[in-house]
A = this chain, B = another copy of it.
Amino acid sequence: MQAELITIGDEILIGQTIDTNSAWMGKELNSLGIQVSQITSIKDERDAIKNALFAAEQSAANLVFITGGLGPTKDDITKHVLCEYFNTVLIRDNEVLDRIQTFFKARGREMLESNNQQADVPEACTVLLNDMGTASGMWFERNGTVFVSMPGVPYEMKHLMQDRVLPKIQELFKLPAVFHKTIMTTGIGESFLVEIIKDWETSLITEDIKIAYLPSPGIVRIRLTGQGDDLAPLQEKVLRKAKELYSLVPQHIFGEDDISMEEALGNLLKEKGQTIATAESCTGGYIAHLLTNKQGSSAFYLGGFVSYDNQVKIEVLRVDKDSIEEEGAVSETVVKQMANGARNLLKTDLAIATSGVAGPDGGTDEKPVGTVWIAIASSKGVIAKKFLFEKNRDRNIRRTALAAMSMVREVL
């Protein structure tokens, strides 16, 4: 089964918006055994939309997903062009209208005529109700091809795909069985990882399992994929091979199935009934943000400090002034005192502290940009480790956070 994606809107063509929707859809469809054969981004213009629809309808794809161009403003014309293309007219849908009115009421916002018009939908389509916004999804079928039009706002599109579109597709079509397993690793580069597990990788060929290495800063995901007629044997062989990885690189695996490091750590803390605090200098609140980004984090995260200025380290975290003067803020002594300070103040089981030169400026010969000290305080005492990351500030902050969370996992 093949699919084509069409994204409508000038913002992608002029480079103001990066097309993350298509990447997300490609991934989701792939995991169901549907291959995306083409992604086309076009202008918010009648002829461009009609041509793209026509080309997709002529192609080998049975599924065409269209995103964008459904907002209430004047430059959004997709709905009208869809009517023209499918030879139908707009009618006002009272259920949709009710939902839009409720949506505005709940937010205490006034409705404009342009919002009412969002309840107008093509007569020939099946409406896909949108719980996250005011633009409905629309499902058309013609000569064996399904066309689905959705708003371009990422969380609205994702909601419609997950809750409306994909279930409907799975109901309609017999899709091949596909089974994926992703193993998340950290603290080892892709080429080193490949070297360690190369014999295991070769053994995948005889099992007809595909492998992909997906690197991102500080993390390499190993994805295994089996495809066939029946799910059960696929599942068995993919899981068996995935399990073998645990004996090859046990210290580098922190989770499975695209779980984030912060979520894996959160789960582990909850499981062990441990609480944690943060004292961040170079990461500037990023670790706190990661730990609190998922719901339920109050079960293990009590709070933290961003001690950007040295005075804050001294007065709030009770770091020794002389240590800062003698060894500098980016030092083993100071980062350990920060971790102990946070742990004592917030009475947690554990505390993370970071201090480093995130860059791009501020490096010296002795402590170049990318130098980072991380400490973990626990009932076992305090440990600290020095890292030398890179020149890029964003990536240094990200990699420090990952390394710190990885150290907490080791302590636990």
Contacts and interface: CB of A to CB of B under 8 A. Distances in A.
B30 A15 contact: yes
A213 interface: yes
Interface string A240-256: 00000000000000000
Interface string A1-28: 0000000001111111111101111111
A68 to B, nearest CB: 12
A194 B298 CA distance: 40
B41 A48 contact: no
A242 to B, nearest CB: 16
Interface stretch (A79-87, A122-130, A230-238, A308-316): A308-316
Interface in A122-147: 132
B11 A15 contact: no
Contacts of A212: 10-11, 16, 75
Contact of A17 (B23, B192, B291): B23
A237 B278 CA distance: 51
B303 A306 contact: yes
Contacts of A194: 73, 114
B284 A293 contact: yes
Contacts of A309: 298, 302-303, 346
A38 B37 contact: no
Contacts of A296: 361
A42 B48 contact: no
Interface stretch (A169-177, A263-271, A386-394, A403-411): A386-394
Interface secondary structure of A, over-half rule: mixed
Contacts of A345: 315-316
Interface in A348-403: 358-361, 388, 390, 392-395, 397
A11 B215 CA distance: 11
A297 interface: yes
A366 to B, nearest CB: 16
Interface in A200-239: 212-215, 221, 223
A44 to B, nearest CB: 9
Interface in A36-63: 36-43, 48, 52, 55
Contact of A18 (B23, B114, B315): B23
Interface stretch (A88-96, A105-113, A160-168): A105-113
Contacts of A179: none
A214 to B, nearest CB: 6
A112 B193 CA distance: 12
Contact of A288 (B24, B288, B302): B288
Contact of A38 (B41, B112, B213): B41
A307 interface: yes
11 contacts: A10-B212, A14-B27, A16-B212, A19-B19, A73-B194, A114-B194, A153-B215, A280-B288, A293-B397, A303-B316, A305-B305
* Closest 10 A/B residue pairs (Cβ): A284-B292, A285-B288, A15-B26, A15-B27, A285-B285, A303-B312, A39-B41, A302-B309, A15-B23, A285-B289
